[in-house]
Amino acid sequence: MNDSSQDPTMTDAFLWERCTRFTFGGPEYTEEVHVEPRDAERTQWAVCCLKRCLNVDGGWEWEPSPSNRDDDFIARTRFDRMTAIAMAMEITR
């Protein structure tokens, strides 16, 4: 078994760029909240819980299948990575 702490490629930046899902939870929040990319370039991230997405107003919306997501839904429920992480952290405090 390799000791990854000795691997020079295992930097925070390396892991940050390759991470494809962040999971949050908290004492008052019983379900896990996930921050996940929703495009191949990983520029649009969603805050998800139980097949729902957090929208810009802080409400939850059911996430339709990809072919049924219209532009309005995407505009309401997609964020850059740091905004999505901040939102997930805020709701799971």
User: Mind listing the pLDDT tens digit for each residue in 29-81?
Assistant: 789 999 999 999 999 999 999 999 999 999 999 999 999 999 999 999 999 99
Distance CA 31, CA 73 (A): 23
Look at residue 1 in the predicted model and tell me its pLDDT.
43
Spatial CA neighbour of 42 closest among 63, 21, 64, 69? 21
Phi, psi (deg, nearest 5) at residue 60: -100, 140
pLDDT beyond 50 at 5 = yes
C-alpha dihedral over 45, 49, 50, 52, to 10 degrees? -60
pLDDT band at 3 (very low <50, low <70, confident <90, very high): low
